[in-house]
Amino acid sequence: MYDARYGIGTMTCSVYDTAWVANVTKTVNGNPQYLFPSSFMAILRAQSPDGHWEGHFNAETANLGCSPPSLTDSILSTMASLYTLALHAKHPYQIRANSVVNPPLEQRIRQAVTKLTRILGNWRIESCNAVGFEVLAPGLLDLLSAEGFEFDFPSKTQLLKLRDAKLARLSPEMMYKLGPSALLHSLEAFHGWGPEKLDMEKIKHHMVGGSMMASPAATASYLMKTKEWDDAAEAYLRLAIQCGEGQGSGCVPSAYPSTNFEILWMTSTFAEFSMCNNSYTSQALELVSGILERPGSSSTSLIGFAPGIEPDLDDSAKASIVMSLSGTLGFSEAIINNFNSSRCLKTYSGERDPSVSANCNALMSILVDQAEYEGKVAIIEKIVTFICASWVEAKGTINDKWNLSPHYTVMLISRSMVELLLKWSTGGLPLLDGHIISFQAAPLLLQCLTFTLSTQHYDGAWGEIGPFEETAYAVLALVSLSSLPLPPSLSRKVVLAIERGRNFLLKRGSAHCEFLWIEKITYGSRNLMDTYVITALNASLELLSEHGKKAASSGEVELDEMLTVHGEIEKMTGGVTGDHL
């Protein structure tokens, strides 16, 4: 649902965040009461018979046909929900025992403790990429300890070390400063701290539209701890319940609104795969210009996932891409100046692990931006080297911090590296070191091709979590790769794989969102899923410009020779069998 002030947000709802919202109390006529009892009831309905919570609500996961939710989803959601149940058992206020559906709270709590103890024992945090988990989980352990629940598990010492390292880079005192901090989005991690360690009154200036960095959980924590009641924060939480994907059910997502993120991902995807006519291009430019001109946007055009939120590399790169592909100059130089680091570009200041997908978007924004500036080629070489090194380090299946599917990252690598080859082959990067093409970009594209062809399932789908959104990612990767001067036999295999993938996508019907995207817990977005599926079904296999195709085919540049470095194509891909070849 669109709101004139806040925008849109179609991220699926989160048990974790809903549990935090259920804890908010307000004194009315001298009597304390829970402000959002519908959120508490949603938590009760979502509890599994064995006592844990899976992270998502049953109404959203019915008939999804996907693999089980991540263990981190279950752990964070069960911790937060157990804390909520403990608070309501201690202080029932207006929610009386007879209004709680069976089993009673005491039994629910015992079951939750038993199940949480078991799943914590299986948690391997070294592979966890959930947003802020290294501060959220320890914060919840402290809160549960204060309520009499102690948990010990093999990964606990490692978790606490990660928490300490995070706070050494981003101390809570940084939130007192004028500029926003990514910690604000996970403010609830410090809910157990007293005012001597974190003074809520000193971070009020970061409120945007009543929210704490567009996070319902962080805003709920702030509202519970602020000295004076904040009507704007209450109004924001009510709006997140009413206009978010929960549609008044009491459920909320991990972030609301996500206006910039959703609009930019939709418009940039259409633009990058040449899905835009003149009318759409004009509308896309107007949308992005409106985002950049909103109050609270950075003076350098850098933006975050929602209006007024801390700028990040990913959203800023997507905005610059749309601007460039709409016929105006992008702002990739400002992106480089703000997010550059020693090895690559960083998504946020102080982040623990860099993102391959965000660097792919940054690379694309630089390549399509017609603006020239000092150091442009050097940054391109740095990003390409980082992406290639990350592929090698991944040993065959590359994962990213923002999306669970390797096909998402391969799609972005394929599109950005094809753009690099096109720009280089047509003389657009005369200062680029040729070894970057010969020994990094071209071999990497062949490996992306091999990976994508070899992982298609018998029914034409891809992925282990999806299947529809993941299949769309893979089809779009092949659309990009089909632009390369491949041998005829290999080109036919690519076209056949695309056709079979598209036939599978036509079966989607009214399938639910797939929980591929990573926030505090995983989530899906119907807007993003629709965008990728529509683009995959309709994108042309001719991404190269007329000049680029002529250059590649006429011998003006020997692009096909570059693609055979480190072995002949047929040796690398001729053995690809998969289920379908």
HEC states along 32-48?
Answer: EEECCHHHHHHHHHHCC
What pLDDT does residue 100 have?
77
pTM, two decimals, is 0.90
The full length of the chain comes to 581
Higher per-residue confidence, 413 vs 540:
413
Backbone Cα Rg of the chain: 24
Q: Is the pLDDT of residue 198 over 80?
A: yes
Structure tokens at 198: 């974190």
- Split at pLDDT 50, 70, 90, the class of 575 is very low
Task: Specify which residues 208 forms β-bridges with.
Answer: 211
What whole-number distance in Å separates Cα of residue 378 and Cα of residue 373?
11
What whole-number distance in Å separates Cα of residue 547 and Cα of residue 485?
14
What whole-number distance in Å separates Cα of residue 382 and Cα of residue 269?
24
Mean pLDDT for 409-427 is 95
What pLDDT does residue 515 have?
93
1.50.10.160, 3.40.718.10, 1.10.3720.10, 3.40.50.2300: CATH of 13-253: 1.50.10.160
DSSP state of 381: H
Mean pLDDT over each residue of the chain, to the nearest integer? 87
Query: Is residue 100 left, alpha or beta, with left meaning phi > 0 and alpha meaning psi from -120 to 50?
Result: beta
What pLDDT does residue 65 have?
45
What pLDDT does residue 68 have?
54
- Split at pLDDT 50, 70, 90, the class of 4 is low
What whole-number distance in Å separates Cα of residue 426 and Cα of residue 472?
29
Q: Are 191 and 139 in contact (CB under 8 A)?
A: yes
Task: Specify which residues 215 forms β-bridges with.
Answer: 212
- Split at pLDDT 50, 70, 90, the class of 552 is very low
What whole-number distance in Å separates Cα of residue 102 and Cα of residue 139?
29
What whole-number distance in Å separates Cα of residue 467 and Cα of residue 536?
14
What whole-number distance in Å separates Cα of residue 92 and Cα of residue 85?
10
Max Cα distance, the chain (Å): 83
The answer for residues whose C-beta is within 8 angstroms of residue 264's C-beta and 6 or more apart is 288, 291, 315, 318, 319, 322
Task: Specify which residues 3 forms β-bridges with.
Answer: 7
Query: What's the distance, CA 514 to chain centroid?
Result: 13
Q: Are 79 and 141 in contact (CB under 8 A)?
A: yes
Structure tokens at 64: 């999804």
Q: Is the pLDDT of residue 316 over 60?
A: yes
pLDDT tens across 19-31, in order?
A: 999 999 999 999 9
What pLDDT does residue 61 have?
44
pLDDT tens across 257-310, in order?
A: 998 999 999 999 998 998 776 565 566 667 666 666 554 444 457 989 988 888
Structure tokens at 415: 């599109």
What pLDDT does residue 280 have?
57
What pLDDT does residue 242 have?
94
DSSP state string for 127-188: G---TTHHHHHHHHHHHHHHTT-----TTHHHHHHHHHHHHHHS-GGGGGSSS--GGGGGGG
What pLDDT does residue 169 have?
81
pLDDT tens across 467-503, in order?
A: 999 999 999 999 999 999 889 999 999 999 999 999 9
What whole-number distance in Å separates Cα of residue 384 and Cα of residue 365?
13
Mean pLDDT for 311-334 is 92
Q: Is the pLDDT of residue 328 over 60?
A: yes
Q: Are 166 and 296 in contact (CB under 8 A)?
A: no
Q: Where in the chain is the domain with CATH 1.50.10.160?
A: 13-253
Structure tokens at 315: 């959203």
What pLDDT does residue 290 have?
67
3-state secondary structure 45-86: HHCCCCCCCCCCCHHHHCCCCCCCCCHHHHHHHHHHHHHHHH
Residue type, 61: T
What pLDDT does residue 70 have?
83
| Residue of 387, 432, 392, 395 whose CA lies nearest to 412 | 387
